[in-house]
């Protein structure tokens, strides 16, 4: 469906108070103008500015999330992409946006595939693509990533699932779980640009059974590899960054307990649309207790959902913060960016004429969030069983991961009171995974309780009644699944 409109006035939705909207807009525009270049460089680099920042904090996914940084990071830094971007104007979402984070590359000469030799416009890459079809595959060549970005768009393939899925396949290849006979001649070691690009083309065209399995995602691929190639399922379960059938987005979350929840306690799998808490948790130390983490995993998924419900962009909320935000507010309140949050409340009231408080905003989203969770339950999922984290998401799996930062991981293990003297690296890994599994369970229970769910991750009757979504069919479904032994004690 294509809609063409030749003239916009900004009044098409009949706002109640246009002057209030203009005041809020002017405030946001001024902050973007004054602060963006000092904070996130959205106008110049877009989200690709995150590559070197993630590397600085050991959060960049490298070789299927095994490592968090790489010596060749400068090859895919924001400066590398800025040199390649040829469009610095608002073109991706809304013509009047002064943030203008969407980037593109004009006149890009393709080197492979059915359009080889043609010059094309490539929309992006965004950070997720630069990391997913870059560092996570062991590839630090922006030109290769831009070409992979184009063909993913051309073929209708999501760049995050594609990158994370192929990263899993590459590690399977390096572990010897699959070989060249299975891949029909492809060398899929990390960094093998030509053969990985060929795999992308084969996935799109369904050229062989191996490519078809890879294209269906990690959960299907590992079942296929186990059944047809005898691959070790236990090993594949450890390394596949997937949950609820969705591949993880491109942040290495091992050291952030809060982000475990931001990935693996979501409605639809490990994406960062609900809660990106890594900096709050690891860098700014704003979430010291499980209750703090649970509060963040209640508030931010609901707040971010609210943007989607209203058709608003979240980037002016926290990608550009007031210069004094960190001085005026502390902890989780600073992460809420209260002044910008208030701008959104003002915009809502100016458009609709209805007064809205912060609590009212969250309640609007909470109704939808819980209804979606109940829909998951109706479709045969929506319980704690489907909220599970792979070992790779919680910590090191193999010795080379530990040995990349041995002092760091030794110290983490000591925090649990473990005497590490005489322990092998494998024994250390097993112990760290054991303790982190315990932390994962504690987080899960704290989050479920804060959300008004039971221990099995199901919204309670009291919750749906409070939210006004206690429709007869909802109540009947919940009564079928709610069990007394899963209730939290008051």
The mean pLDDT value for 426-441 works out to: 97
Nearest to 453 by CA among 296, 259, 265: 265
Sequence ranges of the domains in the chain = 14-42+254-490, 60-250
User: What is the average per-residue pLDDT within 288-309?
Assistant: 94
**242 closest CA partner among 275, 266, 224:** 266
Task: Dump pLDDT digits (tens) for 130-184.
Answer: 999 999 999 999 999 999 999 999 999 999 999 999 999 999 999 999 999 999 9
* 270-293 per-position pLDDT tens digit: 998 899 898 888 888 889 999 999
Report the C-alpha gap between 79 and 86 in whole angstroms: 13
Mean pLDDT over 53-76 rounds to 95
CA angle at residue 270 from 339 to 359, to 5 degrees?
30
Segment 43-64 shows an average pLDDT of 91
The CATH number of domain 60-250 is 1.10.569.10: yes
Give the 3-state secondary structure of residue 280: helix
For residue 63, what pLDDT band results from cuts at 50, 70 and 90? very high
Q: Map tokens 């690296």 to a residue.
A: 425
| Strand ranges, E, within 191-303 | 242-243, 246-247
pLDDT band at 7 (very low <50, low <70, confident <90, very high): confident
User: What contacts 262, CB < 8 A, 6 or more positions away?
Assistant: 253, 256, 272, 274, 275, 276, 277, 278, 297, 300
Could you tell me where the beta strands, DSSP code E, fall in 325-385?
A: none
Burial zone of 430 (CB within 10 Å; 0-12 exposed, 13-18 middle, 19+ buried): exposed
Residue 199 predicted with pLDDT over 80: yes
Closest CA to 137 of 179, 203, 183, 193: 193
| Pairwise CA distance, residues 128 & 278, whole Å | 16
* 14-42+254-490 carries CATH number 1.10.599.10: yes
pLDDT of residue 93 exceeding 70, the answer is no
Q: How far is CA 340 from the centre of its chain?
A: 23
């Amino acid at each position: 469906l294509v809609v063409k409109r030749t003239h916009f006035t900004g009044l098409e939705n009949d706002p109640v108070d246009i002057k209030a909207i203009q005041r809020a807009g002017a405030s946001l525009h001024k902050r973007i103008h004054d602060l963006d270049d000092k904070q996130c460089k959205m106008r110049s680099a877009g989200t690709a500015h995150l590559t070197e920042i993630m590397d600085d904090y050991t959060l960049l996914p490298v070789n299927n999330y095994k490592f968090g940084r790489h010596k060749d990071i400068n090859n895919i830094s924001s400066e590398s992409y800025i040199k390649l971007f040829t469009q610095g104007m608002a073109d991706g979402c809304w013509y009047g946006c002064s943030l203008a984070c969407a980037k593109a590359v004009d006149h890009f000469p393709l080197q492979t595939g059915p359009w080889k030799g043609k010059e094309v416009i490539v929309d992006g890459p965004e950070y997720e693509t630069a990391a997913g079809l870059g560092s996570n595959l062991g590839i630090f060549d922006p030109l290769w990533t831009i070409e992979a970005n184009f063909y993913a768009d051309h073929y209708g393939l999501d760049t995050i699932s594609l990158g994370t899925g192929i990263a899993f396949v590459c590690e399977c290849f390096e572990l010897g779980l699959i070989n060249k006979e299975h891949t029909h001649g492809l060398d899929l070691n990390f960094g093998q640009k030509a053969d990985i690009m060929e795999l992308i083309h084969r996935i799109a065209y369904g050229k062989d059974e191996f490519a078809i399995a890879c294209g269906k995602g990690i959960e299907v691929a590992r079942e296929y590899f186990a059944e047809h190639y005898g691959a070790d399922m236990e090993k594949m379960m450890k390394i596949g960054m997937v949950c609820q059938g969705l591949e993880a987005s491109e942040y290495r979350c091992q050291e952030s307990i809060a982000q475990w929840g931001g990935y693996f306690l979501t409605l639809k799998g490990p994406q960062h649309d609900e809660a990106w808490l890594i900096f709050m948790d690891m860098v700014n130390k704003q979430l010291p207790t499980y209750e703090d983490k649970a509060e963040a995993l209640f508030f931010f998924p609901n707040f971010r959902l609210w943007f989607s419900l209203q058709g608003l962009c979240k980037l002016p909320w926290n990608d550009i913060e007031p210069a004094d935000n960190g001085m005026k507010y502390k902890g989780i309140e600073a992460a809420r960016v209260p002044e910008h949050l208030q701008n959104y409340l003002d915009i809502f009231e100016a458009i609709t004429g209805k007064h809205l408080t912060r609590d009212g905003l969250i309640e609007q989203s909470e109704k939808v969030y819980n209804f979606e969770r109940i829909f998951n339950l109706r479709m045969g999922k929506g319980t704690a069983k489907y909220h599970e984290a792979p070992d790779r998401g919680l910590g090191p799996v193999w010795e080379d991961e530990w040995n990349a930062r041995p002092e760091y991981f030794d110290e983490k293990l000591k925090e649990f009171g473990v005497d590490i003297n005489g322990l092998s690296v494998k024994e250390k890994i097993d112990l760290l995974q054991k303790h982190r599994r315990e932390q994962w369970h504690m987080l899960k229970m704290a989050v479920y309780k804060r959300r008004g769910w039971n221990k099995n991750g199901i919204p309670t009757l009291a919750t749906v009644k409070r939210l006004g979504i206690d429709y007869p069919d909802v109540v009947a479904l919940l009564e079928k699944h709610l069990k007394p032994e899963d209730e939290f004690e008051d």
